[in-house]
Structure 1
Amino acid sequence: MKISIRRSRRAAVAVALGSVLALTTTACGDDGSGAGGDKGEEGSGKGEIVFWDNNGGVRTDIWKEVIADFQKANPDIKVEYVGIPATDYQSKVDTAIQGGGLPDVGGVGAAMLAGFAAQEALDPLDDRFAKSSLNGKLNDDMVTSLKAAGGGDDALYSIPTSANNGVLYYRTDLFKAAGLDAPTTWDTFYEAAEKLTDVKKNEFGYTIRGGAGSIAQALDAMYGQSGITSFWDASGEKTTVNDPKNVAALEKYAALYKKVTPAADLNNDFTKMVAQWDSGTIGMLNHNLGSYQDHVKALGADKFRGIPQPTGPGGKRVQVSNPVDGLGLFKSSKNKEAAWKFIEFAASHESNSKWNESAGAIPSNTDAAKDAWISKAEPTKLAAEALNDGSTTIVQLPYYLPDWNSISKADNEPNFQKVLNGDMSAKEFLDTLAGQLNEAQTEWDSRNG
């Protein structure tokens, strides 16, 4: 019974994320006491609230636009913006949960939601959502995804704002000059990475993510090549990350480092990786829809394309899920009414469309998803088509595990760097990762029956 329940949760999230992307084709700070001890207050609906952006620096400008619009429409409310880099966000929130100082509102995506909810730091939003102007206006599958990621109680702890998807960006000008076909398969991907590299000229075929956020990208490359379509084995108790096919795939992928990639990749997070690709002569980059606008600004739309991840043998594409992002209301807030007004405004048609157009992501607001700018964003359209044509299978990552974010980031990113440097084997790395995931799954089972 436990396995079937868990499988239902995973299946619901996987279907939801697929449907979320598919919609684009049819649409063409008051102190907290930690661990839930401070229940907060509704407040007057006026005054000041504090908002923590979970991708500060990258999305600061567009959030400041949204905040300015909100304050114009709500002159009795002032929003204090705090931009926190994505790499630091979870640890900062965790520290504030235990020691105080949580904001009123913060970015809460699926990958970190279960951990915050397990500490009882977030207010359930089901009742507010049901009574709000957003009810019936947000993509049902994004809502379902965030409910499923909450850790087991099926409550809504975050209002979805956007969805993302993995993209392989490639320089069309460099490919044309080298007489290369588009890297639509893993074979052509590796061939292009080799042919576009001339280390003496500082020209490289690919840039690999070795810094913060490297694990999800490595998993995407692993499952994409191995063709394994489930994160858990048939028993539902053991992860497939250290399956021999995944080990072989990671060995091949990690061997790209310094052979066809810059040495600086070892420490590059996504901002450094994207900036390096935009300003240099590197053939290919794996990222997501979120960097599309950066590439347009840096290169112009005629020098690159963003396509779905490469296919494996038989034309089948396998890729790992990208989490839905959203906004959460922290339980310790002393002005929840005003904080909710901000969340409601940010997810409304105009604001949600403006934010997602800037970020290049998929809007959660169904009216925003019909806006004209989406039809002009080729990577978004292609991602949706790939999911609709039956060529793509999504491997759903276990966002519902409270330990997922720490396991997939702080606990294993240094080890992945050791793999790239040749100081740890791919098998040892994946066996370690698998052991931690299996233990976390067992603990989750015991708590959720």
Structure 2
Amino acid sequence: MFRKLMTAGALALSLMADSALADTTLQLTEVITSPQRTEHLKGMIARFEQANPGVKVEVTSLPWGQAFEKLATMVQGGNIPDVVEMPDRWLALYAANEQLENLEPYLKDWPVTSQLTDRAVQFGSWYKNTPYMIPYGFYIRAMFWNKELFAEAGMTEPPKTTQEFVEASKKIAALGGGKTGYCLRGGPGATNGYIMFMLNELGSNEFFDAEGNSVLNKPEAIKGLQILADMYKEGAVPKDSVNWGFNEIVAGFYSGTCAMLDQDPDALIAIAERMPAEKFAVAPMPLGPSGKSFPTMGYAGWAMFAASEQKEESWKLIAHLSSPEMNLEWAKVVGVIPIHKGAEKDPFFDTEQYRGWFTELNDPRWQLTAMPTYLEEFGFFADQISISGGQEMLLGQRTPEDVANEWASYLTDAQKKWLAAR
């Protein structure tokens, strides 16, 4: 009888364990959102759920324009996801507040770790050399150009220098009919564009001097902002572009409103759906006066919040999404350079559509530039300060010098704080 009771008890415990497992629900928050990528992400998660019976994943998709504030509100209110899509510029903020899980113990036992590219390892550990995230790919800026609009304006090649870029924009704007040269991004996500023009005129991608002072208010950097302010004032860019984010600039390009667009590979998704390949191409970013160019390189990836109560399951989800098969698939859908060695040999990437990006990767005149996202304050700078200041500059409410001084002062304080902490 006793043995029967023990057996029944063991069976009950087993059923309870299975029930608990069936109740395991992971919360994943997506912050760079579009209907297509959300749908594909859910498809990848469905395969994870199939391989891990009893584990369910709920996806919350935040609109990118308000994602920074919405995620911060969620976290502050205790509604903390287990896994989050972490943009590079938010990493330091959350890591510094000890809100992210150190993934090093998991990576040590993960068979796939040795297959990650050096850049994936480097930038996943950008904050204090600690792997708080696994990047899922890299966003590198290159220049889309509309062959038909260029031909109408009497041009057959994309601009090779900043000067040629400005001249080409003016020629296309002179066509009339609402056509402009450049799809300026003045709304959410505008920071990279401003910084690239500033660095090109500086001839360097060093953001600070040895004492920690920002160089963004040097005369050369101010000239970079002045170029954009003049283009806006003179009608070489659309007037409503002062508020444009990613979707608007991409639509501006494929609709023929503007003939040039600096963007990452993710823009190819929408553009290729609406423009035949023979009507546009992707060139490397124009070179500055120094003969160099500094395309910004951004990235995002998967991170785990330290408050997660399901860390093992959360890691399994991150490992699944970061596996070679899933990552290659995801990179093709969202438009990033993959994180695993040898991915560039895939036929999808070995095409002329990626020529501009691979020129920038292989030619030393183009120096890929990572933003100073190791600064805790950089996320607020990129998502708030630079956007409002840039818009005020474009609208003529402030001078480029005034805006550059504000940016330099803010970043200098952040850099000196970081240096002192070290």
TM-score, normalised via structure 2 length: 0.90
Q: Cα 1:166–1:236, aligned 2, differ >3 Å: closer, same or farther?
A: farther
Q: Is the Cα–Cα contact under 8 Å of residues 350 and 368 in structure 1 kept in the other structure?
A: no
Partner of 2:14: none
Describe the shift of the 1:89–1:276 C-alpha distance in structure 2 as closer, same or farther (beyond 3 A): same
**Which residue is 2:153 aligned to?**
178
Paired with 2:84 and 2:248, the residues of 1 have a C-alpha distance of: 24
Please state if 1:209 is matched with 2:185: yes
User: C-alpha separation between the residues in 2 aligned to 1:321 and 1:262?
Assistant: 23
Give the C-alpha shift of residue 64 in structure 1. Answer: 2.0
Q: What amino acid sits opposite 1:177 in the alignment?
A: E
Tell me which residue corresponds to 1:48: 25
Instruction: Report the equivalent of 1:442.
Output: 416
Residue in structure 1 matching 2:371, options 370, 380, 397: 397
Distance between the aligned counterparts of 1:248 and 1:433, measured in 2? 14
Q: Does the alignment pair 1:288 with 2:264?
A: yes
1:411 equivalent in alignment to 2:385:
yes
Give the number of aligned pairs: 400
Q: Residue type of the partner of 1:352? A: N
* Identity across matched positions, percent: 27
Matches within 5 A, 1:229-308: 229-233=205-209, 235-257=210-232, 259-308=235-284
2-side partners of 1:197 and 1:257: how far apart? 11
1:121 alignment counterpart? 99
Q: Is structure 2 residue 42 aligned with structure 1 residue 64?
A: yes
Q: Secondary structure at the match of 1:372?
A: coil
Residue pairs, 1:350-365, within 5 angstroms: 350-365=325-340
The Cα of 1:218 is off from its aligned counterpart by 0.8
Measured in 2, the distance between the counterparts of 1:313 and 1:238 equals 23
- Alignment partner, residue 63 of structure 2: 85
Deviation (angstroms), 1:338: 1.4
Q: Is the contact made by 1:56 and 1:85 (CA closer than 8 Å) also made in structure 2?
A: yes
| Paired AA for residue 376 in structure 1 | T
Residue 360 of structure 2 contacts residue 368 of structure 2 at CA under 8 Å; is this kept in 1? no
How far does residue 354 in structure 1 lie from its aligned partner after superposition? 0.9
**Kept after mapping to 1: 8 A contact 2:21/2:54:** no
Superposition deviation, residue 211 in structure 1: 0.5
For the pair shown, which has the larger CA radius of gyration, 1 or 2?
A: 2
The equivalent residue for 2:4 is none
Q: Which residue of 1 aligns with 2:139?
A: 164
Contact 1:229–1:318 under 8 Å retained in 2? no
- The answer on whether the counterparts of 1:164 and 1:362 sit within 8 Å (CA) in structure 2 is yes
Q: Which residue is equivalent to 2:113?
A: 135
Q: Is the Cα–Cα contact under 8 Å of residues 93 and 377 in structure 2 kept in the other structure? A: yes
Deviations 1:22-64 (A, max 9, x none): xxxxxxxxxxxxxxxxxxxxx9597211111121226212212
Q: Distance in 2 between matches of 1:352 and 1:410?
A: 31
SS in 1 for 2:231: coil
State the Cα distance separating 1:183 from its structure 2 match. Answer: 1.4
SS at match of 2:58: strand
Change beyond 3 A, Cα 1:144–1:189: same
**In the alignment, which residue of structure 2 is the partner of 1:29?**
none
Going from structure 1 to structure 2, the CA distance change for 1:113 and 1:344 (only over 3 Å counts) comes to same
Aligned AA for 1:197?
A: A
TM-aligned CA distance change 1:386 to 1:412, over 3 Å = closer
Paired with 2:26 and 2:344, the residues of 1 have a C-alpha distance of: 29
**Alpha-carbon shift at residue 387 of structure 1 (Å):** 3.3
Shift in Å, 1:377: 5.6
Whole-Å Cα distance in 2 between the matches of residues 352 and 137 of structure 1? 12
In structure 2, distance between residues paired with 1:368 and 1:229: 28
For 1:397, the aligned partner's letter is M
The superposition leaves residues 155-187 of structure 1 with CA deviations (integer Å, 9 ceiling, x where unpaired) of 110012101101111101211232213212212
Partners of 1:302 and 1:236 lie apart in 2 by 50
Q: Counterparts of 1:328 and 1:313 in 2: how far apart (Å)?
A: 39
Deviations 1:207-265 (A, max 9, x none): 211101112211112212332342112x2411111110111121122211151121110
Match of 1:431 among 402, 405, 408: 405
**Matched AA of 1:116:** Y
Aligned-partner SS, 1:363: coil
Change (3 A) 1:82 1:335: same
Q: Which range is displaced more, 335-344 or 219-228?
A: 219-228
* Number of the residue aligned with 2:353: 378
Q: Deviations over 1:101-126 (max 9, x none)?
A: 01110011321100010111111000
Alignment of 1:96-111 (within 5 A): 96-111=74-89
Q: Is the 8 A contact 2:101 2:304 kept in 1?
A: yes
Residue from 317, 327, 333 that aligns with 2:302 = 327
* Pairwise CA RMSD: 2.0
Q: CA deviation at 1:369?
A: 4.2
1:74 equivalenced with 2:74 (yes/no) = no
Correspondence for 1:40? none
Query: Which one is further off, 321-330 or 397-406?
Result: 321-330
CA distance in structure 1 between the partners assigned to 2:350 and 2:361 by the alignment: 16
Matched, 1:387 2:355: no
